[in-house]
Amino acid sequence: MSDHVYKVIEIVGSSTQSSDHAIQQAVTKASTSLRNLDWFEVVETRGHIVDGKVAHYQVKLKIGFRLD
């Protein structure tokens, strides 16, 4: 196994469906412009409340990818 060097970025995914969907949205979008995505870490979860119900989810992620 060779040694790797990683870059870590922070992004925020959002969804009206769920926090899991917000994560999927963020990773999918990141994969369109970044290569070698290896892992993610959920750093923060928050949401928006309307009329006493959860209306929107936001999830801040750290995403690690290998540098060429």
* Domain of residue 28, CATH code: 3.30.1660.10
Range of the domain at 17: 6-66
How many structural domains is the chain composed of?
Answer: 1
1 domain-assigned: no
pLDDT single digits (tens) 27-66? 999 999 999 999 999 999 999 999 999 999 999 999 999 9
User: Measuring CA to CA, which residue among 13, 9, 1, 10 is closest to residue 67?
Assistant: 9
Split at pLDDT 50, 70, 90, the class of 68 is: confident
59 domain-assigned: yes
H-helix or E-strand containing 37? strand 37-50
Does pTM top 0.85 for this prediction?
Answer: yes
